[in-house]
């Protein structure tokens, strides 16, 4: 045997030669080596290999006859007998099943196949491996039952079957594996109960069945396991109570019962009987009673999970828990709702490893103690929501500089949101919703550049959205709903460089139009701007937000038709446009929105036929009431049958014909030829004659026109107007400059008078722009051209610069004649006239906007303060809404104070001094600003202005009536 036989082996056997050299080289004394190739092992391993269907790392390529079995990758042989004692193929990306021939590797001590993709059953033949000590099949896809005859492996110390798909029950026979120390089945689908026989495994250190479907109760026999250190049965369906003897297992370090249906109290001496405990979870069970005072004695505790039980009463001092890092007790009934409920927090100031503190959904009352100033900066999550915590947020919160989540939502907190929150620059989640916070949103929130979620909804916050918030680029979920926030959405929010998925600004006092840029919010899935004071058209660009699932614009002053671009929002599940002034037909394309579950178009001015397919079939999913001119639809809507009218033809030829017929009737044919000749100037008299026939309540009547040569020999042209007893608006707005006297009270226009006149002027313009046979541009709208009759009704006069327009295309107007070189008055003329653009109705809207701003600020656009690029438009825009009070014509404010001091009649005070007027002013200024934007195309349409102003007035008068 031995060396001799070895050396006499045929040289042709490269294997022997190789082994011999290797062994000599290793300096080993070779005595028992030769003849060691046990054929059984070789064959068994080849059978194992044969069941491997995929081996991307080529682990098994060494498993061939050219080398000795003991040198095959993953194989270790016993030194003396050259039998396979270890097969370790962990993390080899192997796919296949485990061959039953594994049972022939009879010297095997360790079988390690973890982190592969072995599937099908665990072969029962493993039970033949008497010498097996360690069996790790962790993290494969093994299924079916655990073979009971594994109990044949009587030397087993370590079983890890975790992360597989095993089902059936835990075989009771495994309770005979008396040497077993480590037993884990975590993450399988095991059913049945924990066999009491395991109580016999006196060496057991670890027992884990986490994440299975085990029922029944924990066997009392487990109380005998004096070495048990880790007992982990969380995420099953265990019930009953914990056998008291288990709480006496002083060896326990990790005790996890989380997410079962276990009942009972925590024993009062738990902190004494479990002195080594580091991890204790009873989360999501049915424990009742208090958290025992002794818990603080378990000073090794790092993790305490008490969430989701029925624990109640005071939380005891935790002052000895210096090592605790994770303490969660949400969803209990802890606290008495009283003043000192949160004093236990101060006992945690020496817990310098604390990262997570969750006490949400309890009954905690009282104030947040100031000691949070001394909390460890390691704190990452501080979750307090849904309690009854009152008082202010202590400014010490600013010390917790590593906080990533701060949730105080749904408490009774009040005061200002402390500026110091801005120091928490790692914050990703901030929820202060449903409290009583007031004051402004602190601009320091702009420092929270990691913020992803920000909920400030349901408070009493006021002012506008701080522009600094634009630095929070990562915010994807923002809710500011249900506050008293104001200002425009355009500049304050949409301009932010973020791309939210959810944006809720509902139930505030935002005003202005929704800007085109809303279309840049490409990730938007949820948008709610309901219950504000927004106006203008439905922004066409919203059609670019193709991920939208919920769009709510309810209760605003929006108007106009639903644009066809909306057709791209095919993912919409909810579309609520109710309580606005939308008009036109209900788009038929909504029929094809297959996800639409609720379509609310109620209380608008929609007309025409209601479609009958898609969502319209479902009369509980479609709400259309409050639109008086709808017809058709499903019979249950009970609407009249549609009568089809011929669509109106709005052709150029038609309107030209009309002009021709009007003018020729008046003036004869020459003029008509001139008019038709493009670019030809019309005679002054012709224009005047036409104007003479234009009649409107808010236009000054033109009696006649004359033209001639004056006494100095100059041509003169004149219009003869109706006389107005109260002079012009300019005199009323600027009484000081007119008379150089102290303004008399009687000379002032009050708020309502100004609003009425503003509406009169808008009516007149609307008539000129939209209701004459051909649009007329006034070209010189300004206060001195607004005359007031004895009832203070406004009449627009001085048509000296008026232009007839023809409708060149359907939406594009240009002037036809340019008989006058002069284009309005400095300050009121739109910027585009200055650069030679043709006059247009948009130019009049600009002048109107300036006039409106002048009427309510009392400042002329030519005031001395407007220089160096500041103009009236920017002046108002910059002040809206917070500084608004500083720009309102002081006479309006005097009027308020005067009324308030003069009378004790509370309802008059309410009328004049009420926030209602301030709201109206914000809206009016919003309109003025929207009319006087630089770009002509972005200005409001005068019809919309009329509609808005009417609404504002109606709303104001309605409020007054209600108060009376």
- The catalytic residue positions are 780
Toward ligand NAG, which CB reaches closer, 43 or 870? 43
Which residue among 39, 65, 710, 868 contacts ligand NAG (CB under 6 A)? 39
Nearest to 485 by CA among 454, 506, 462, 505: 462
Please provide residue 315's backbone torsions phi and psi, each rounded to the nearest 5 degrees. -85, 125
Return d(Cα 267, Cα 293) in angstroms, integer. Answer: 10
- Contacts of residue 860, defined as CB under 8 A and 6 or more positions apart, other chains included, come to 734, 827, 854, 872
Residue 90 binding ligand NAG, by CB under 6 A: no
Residue 915 burial (CB count, 10 A):
11
Which residue among 16, 19, 38, 529 contacts ligand NAG (CB under 6 A)? 38
The stretch among 35-43, 354-362, 679-687, 855-863 that binds ligand NAG (CB under 6 A) is 35-43
Toward ligand NAG, which CB reaches closer, 35 or 834? 35
Least spacing, CB of residue 211 vs ligand NAG, in Å:
11
Toward ligand NAG, which CB reaches closer, 235 or 576? 235
Which residue among 115, 268, 390, 520 contacts ligand NAG (CB under 6 A)? 115
Lay out the site mask for ligand NAG across 394-413 (x = CB under 6 A, - = otherwise): --x-----------------
Nearest to 173 by CA among 154, 192, 187: 154
Q: 431 has which bridge partners?
A: 407, 455
Toward ligand NAG, which CB reaches closer, 40 or 173? 40
Residue 612 binding ligand NAG, by CB under 6 A: no
DSSP reduced 3-state for 442: coil
Least spacing, CB of residue 483 vs ligand NAG, in Å:
30
- Please list every residue from 273 through 332 that binds ligand NAG, using CB under 6 A: 319
Residue 374 binding ligand NAG, by CB under 6 A: yes
Cα torsion through 76, 78, 84, 88, rounded to 10: -30
Residue 208 binding ligand NAG, by CB under 6 A: no
CA separation, residue 15 to residues 60, 65, 82, 800 (Å): 18, 9, 14, 115
Residue 370 binding ligand NAG, by CB under 6 A: yes
Q: Is 102:123 a contact under the CB 8 Å cutoff?
A: yes
Which residue among 71, 347, 363, 565 contacts ligand NAG (CB under 6 A)? 347
Residue 104 binding ligand NAG, by CB under 6 A: no
The stretch among 118-126, 368-376, 504-512, 706-714 that binds ligand NAG (CB under 6 A) is 368-376
Residue listed under structure tokens 């817990």 = 351
Return d(Cα 618, Cα 636) in angstroms, integer. Answer: 10
Return d(Cα 410, Cα 395) in angstroms, integer. Answer: 19
Question: Would strands 557-560 and 533-537 be described as parallel, antiparallel, or unpaired?
Answer: parallel
Question: Would strands 813-815 and 803-807 be described as parallel, antiparallel, or unpaired?
Answer: antiparallel
Least spacing, CB of residue 290 vs ligand NAG, in Å:
20
Which residue among 371, 467, 561, 793 contacts ligand NAG (CB under 6 A)? 371
Least spacing, CB of residue 247 vs ligand NAG, in Å:
26
Q: Is 580:601 a contact under the CB 8 Å cutoff?
A: no
The stretch among 20-28, 345-353, 426-434, 921-929 that binds ligand NAG (CB under 6 A) is 345-353
Count Cβ neighbours within 10 Å for each residue of 22-37 and write b for 16 or more, e otherwise: eeeeeeeeeeebbebb
Alpha helix ranges (H) inside 604-750: 652-667, 669-676, 684-692, 729-733, 735-739
Toward ligand NAG, which CB reaches closer, 351 or 855? 351
Nearest to 458 by CA among 485, 483, 487: 483
Least spacing, CB of residue 199 vs ligand NAG, in Å:
29
The stretch among 365-373, 499-507, 537-545, 821-829 that binds ligand NAG (CB under 6 A) is 365-373
- CA end-to-end span of the chain, whole Å? 121
Least spacing, CB of residue 36 vs ligand NAG, in Å:
8
Return d(Cα 212, Cα 769) in angstroms, integer. Answer: 75
Least spacing, CB of residue 9 vs ligand NAG, in Å:
16
The stretch among 150-158, 366-374, 571-579, 775-783 that binds ligand NAG (CB under 6 A) is 366-374
Which residue among 9, 15, 30, 40 contacts ligand NAG (CB under 6 A)? 40
- Please list every residue from 149 through 188 that binds ligand NAG, using CB under 6 A: 163
Please provide residue 342's backbone torsions phi and psi, each rounded to the nearest 5 degrees. -100, 15
Residue 493 burial (CB count, 10 A):
28
Which residue among 71, 76, 106, 251 contacts ligand NAG (CB under 6 A)? 106
The stretch among 148-156, 217-225, 271-279, 342-350 that binds ligand NAG (CB under 6 A) is 342-350
Q: Is 565:589 a contact under the CB 8 Å cutoff?
A: no
Toward ligand NAG, which CB reaches closer, 319 or 789? 319
Burial of 438 (0-12, 13-18, 19+ CB in 10 A): middle
The stretch among 65-73, 239-247, 344-352, 355-363 that binds ligand NAG (CB under 6 A) is 344-352
Toward ligand NAG, which CB reaches closer, 132 or 252? 132
Question: If you write DSSP's letter for every residue of 817-856 in order, what string do you get?
Answer: ---------TTTS-HHHHTTPPP-HHHHHHHHHHHHHHHH
Toward ligand NAG, which CB reaches closer, 396 or 632? 396
Least spacing, CB of residue 83 vs ligand NAG, in Å:
6
Least spacing, CB of residue 312 vs ligand NAG, in Å:
24
The stretch among 33-41, 328-336, 359-367, 625-633 that binds ligand NAG (CB under 6 A) is 33-41
Toward ligand NAG, which CB reaches closer, 373 or 438? 373
Residue 352 binding ligand NAG, by CB under 6 A: no
Return d(Cα 705, Cα 667) in angstroms, integer. Answer: 14
Residue 139 binding ligand NAG, by CB under 6 A: yes
The residue count for binding ligand NAG (CB under 6 A) is: 18
Return d(Cα 250, Cα 275) in angstroms, integer. Answer: 6
DSSP reduced 3-state for 916: helix
Least spacing, CB of residue 117 vs ligand NAG, in Å:
6
User: What is the DSSP secondary structure assignment for residue 679, as one 8-state letter?
Assistant: T
Least spacing, CB of residue 473 vs ligand NAG, in Å:
33
Toward ligand NAG, which CB reaches closer, 35 or 890? 35
Residue 349 binding ligand NAG, by CB under 6 A: yes
Q: 191 has which bridge partners?
A: 169
Toward ligand NAG, which CB reaches closer, 322 or 547? 322
Q: Is 422:445 a contact under the CB 8 Å cutoff?
A: yes
Least spacing, CB of residue 373 vs ligand NAG, in Å:
4
Question: If you write DSSP's letter for every residue of 319-363 in order, what string do you get?
Answer: TT-TT--EEE--SSEES-SSTTTTGGGGGGTT-TT--EEE--SS-
Return d(Cα 601, Cα 630) in angstroms, integer. Answer: 11
Q: Is 732:754 a contact under the CB 8 Å cutoff?
A: no
Toward ligand NAG, which CB reaches closer, 82 or 559? 82
Q: 675 has which bridge partners?
A: none
The stretch among 261-269, 277-285, 343-351, 906-914 that binds ligand NAG (CB under 6 A) is 343-351
Residue listed under structure tokens 């021939």 = 101
Least spacing, CB of residue 106 vs ligand NAG, in Å:
5
- Please list every residue from 786 through 845 that binds ligand NAG, using CB under 6 A: none
Q: What's the token pair of residue 911? A: 């009328």
Toward ligand NAG, which CB reaches closer, 38 or 785? 38
3-state SS, one letter per residue, for 751-773: HHHHHHHHHHHHHHHHHHHHHCC
Residue 373 binding ligand NAG, by CB under 6 A: yes
Note the residues at the interface with ligand NAG (CB under 6 A).
Answer: 38-40, 106, 115-116, 139, 163, 319, 346-347, 349-350, 370-371, 373-374, 396
């Amino acid at each position: 045997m031995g060396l001799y036989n070895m050396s006499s082996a045929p040289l042709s056997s490269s294997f022997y030669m190789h082994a011999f050299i290797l062994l000599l080289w290793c300096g080993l004394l070779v005595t028992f080596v030769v003849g060691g190739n046990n054929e059984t092992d070789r064959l068994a391993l080849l059978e194992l290999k044969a069941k491997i269907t995929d081996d991307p790392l080529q682990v098994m390529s060494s498993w061939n006859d050219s080398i000795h079995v003991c040198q095959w990758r993953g194989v270790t042989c016993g030194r003396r007998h050259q039998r396979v004692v270890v097969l370790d193929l962990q993390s080899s990306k192997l796919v296949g099943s485990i061959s039953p021939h594994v049972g022939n590797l009879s010297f095997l001590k360790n079988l390690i196949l973890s982190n592969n993709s072995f599937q099908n059953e665990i072969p029962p033949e493993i039970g033949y491996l008497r010498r097996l000590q360690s069996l790790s099949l962790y993290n494969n896809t093994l299924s079916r039952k655990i073979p009971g005859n594994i109990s044949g492996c009587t030397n087993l110390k370590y079983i890890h079957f975790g992360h597989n798909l095993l089902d059936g029950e835990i075989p009771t026979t495994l309770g005979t594996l008396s040497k077993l120390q480590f037993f884990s089945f975590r993450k399988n689908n095991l059913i049945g109960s924990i066999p009491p026989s395991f109580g016999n495994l006196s060496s057991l250190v670890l027992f884990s069945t986490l994440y299975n479907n085990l029922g029944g109760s924990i066997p009392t026999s487990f109380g005998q396991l004096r070495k048990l250190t880790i007992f982990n049965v969380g995420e099953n369906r265990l019930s009953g109570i914990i056998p008291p003897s288990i709480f006496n297992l002083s060896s326990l370090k990790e005790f996890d019962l989380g997410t079962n249906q276990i009942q009972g109290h925590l024993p009062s001496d738990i902190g004494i009987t479990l002195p080594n405990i580091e991890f204790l979870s009873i989360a999501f069970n049915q424990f009742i009673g208090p958290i025992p005072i002794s818990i603080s004695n378990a000073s090794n505790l790092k993790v305490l999970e008490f969430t989701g039980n029925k624990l109640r009463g005071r939380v005891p001092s935790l002052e000895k828990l210096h090592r605790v890092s994770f303490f969660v007790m949400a969803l209990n009934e802890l606290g008495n709702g009283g003043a000192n409920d949160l004093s236990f927090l101060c006992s945690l100031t020496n817990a310098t490893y604390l990262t997570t503190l969750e006490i949400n959904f309890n009954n905690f009352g009282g104030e947040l103690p100031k000691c949070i100033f001394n909390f460890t900066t390691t704190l990452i999550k501080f979750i307090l929501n849904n309690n009854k915590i009152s008082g202010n947020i202590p400014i010490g919160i600013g010390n917790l500089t590593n906080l990533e989540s701060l949730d105080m939502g749904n408490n009774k907190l009040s005061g200002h949101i402390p500026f110091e929150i801005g120091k928490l620059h790692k914050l990703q989640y901030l929820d202060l919703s449903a409290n009583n916070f007031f004051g402004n949103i602190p601009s320091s929130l702009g420092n929270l550049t990691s913020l992803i979620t920000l909920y400030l909804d349901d408070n009493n916050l006021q002012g506008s959205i701080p522009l600094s918030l634009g630095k929070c680029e990562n915010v994807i979920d923002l809710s500011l709903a249900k506050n008293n926030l104001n200002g425009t959405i355009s500049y304050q929010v949409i301009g932010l460089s973020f791309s939210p998925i959810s944006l809720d600004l509902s139930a505030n006092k935002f005003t202005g139009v929704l800007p085109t840029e809303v279309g840049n919010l490409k990730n938007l899935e949820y948008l709610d701007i309901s219950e504000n004071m927004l106006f203008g058209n439905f922004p066409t660009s919203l059609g670019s937000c193709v991920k939208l699932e919920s769009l709510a614009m309810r209760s605003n002053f929006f108007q106009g038709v639903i644009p066809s671009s909306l057709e791209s929002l095919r993912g919409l599940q909810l579309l609520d446009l109710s309580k606005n002034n939308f008009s036109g037909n209900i788009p038929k394309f909504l029929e094809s929105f297959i996800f639409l579950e609720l379509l609310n178009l109620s209380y608008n001015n929609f007309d025409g036929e209601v479609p009958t397919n898609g969502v319209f079939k479902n009369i509980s999913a479609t709400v259309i009431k409050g639109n008086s001119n709808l017809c058709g639809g499903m019979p249950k809507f009970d609407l009249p049958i549609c009568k089809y009218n011929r669509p109106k033809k709005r052709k150029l030829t038609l309107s030209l014909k009309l002009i021709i017929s009007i003018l020729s009737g008046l003036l004869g044919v020459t003029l008509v030829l001139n008019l038709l000749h493009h670019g030809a100037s019309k005679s002054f008299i012709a224009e005047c004659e036409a104007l003479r026939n234009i009649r409107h309540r808010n236009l000054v009547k033109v009696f006649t026109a004359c033209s001639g040569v004056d006494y100095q020999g100059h041509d003169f042209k004149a219009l003869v107007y109706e006389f107005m007893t109260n002079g012009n608006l300019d005199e009323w707005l600027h009484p000081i400059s007119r008379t150089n006297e102290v303004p008399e009270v009687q000379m002032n226009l009050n708020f309502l008078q100004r609003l009425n006149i503003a509406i009169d002027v808008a009516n007149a313009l609307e008539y000129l722009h939209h209701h004459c046979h051909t649009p007329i541009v006034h070209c010189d709208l300004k206060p001195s051209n607004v005359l007031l009759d004895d009832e203070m009704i406004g009449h627009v006069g001085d048509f000296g610069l008026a232009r007839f327009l023809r409708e060149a295309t359907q939406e594009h107007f240009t002037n036809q004649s340019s008989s006058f070189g002069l284009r309005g008055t400095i300050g009121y003329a739109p910027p585009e006239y200055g650069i030679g653009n043709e006059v247009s109705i948009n130019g009049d809207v600009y002048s109107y906007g300036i006039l409106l701003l002048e009427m309510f600020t009392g400042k002329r656009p030519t005031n001395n303060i407007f220089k160096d690029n500041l103009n009236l438009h920017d002046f108002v825009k910059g002040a809206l809404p917070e500084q608004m009070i500083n720009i309102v014509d002081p006479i309006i404010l005097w009027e308020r104070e005067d009324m308030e001091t003069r009378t004790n009649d509370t309802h008059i005070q309410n009328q004049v001094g009420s926030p209602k007027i301030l709201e109206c002013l914000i809206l009016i200024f919003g309109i003025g600003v929207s009319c006087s934007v630089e770009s002509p195309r972005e200005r409001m349409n005068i019809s919309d202005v009329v509609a808005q102003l009417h609404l504002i007035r109606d709303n104001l008068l309605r409020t007054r009536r209600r108060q009376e």
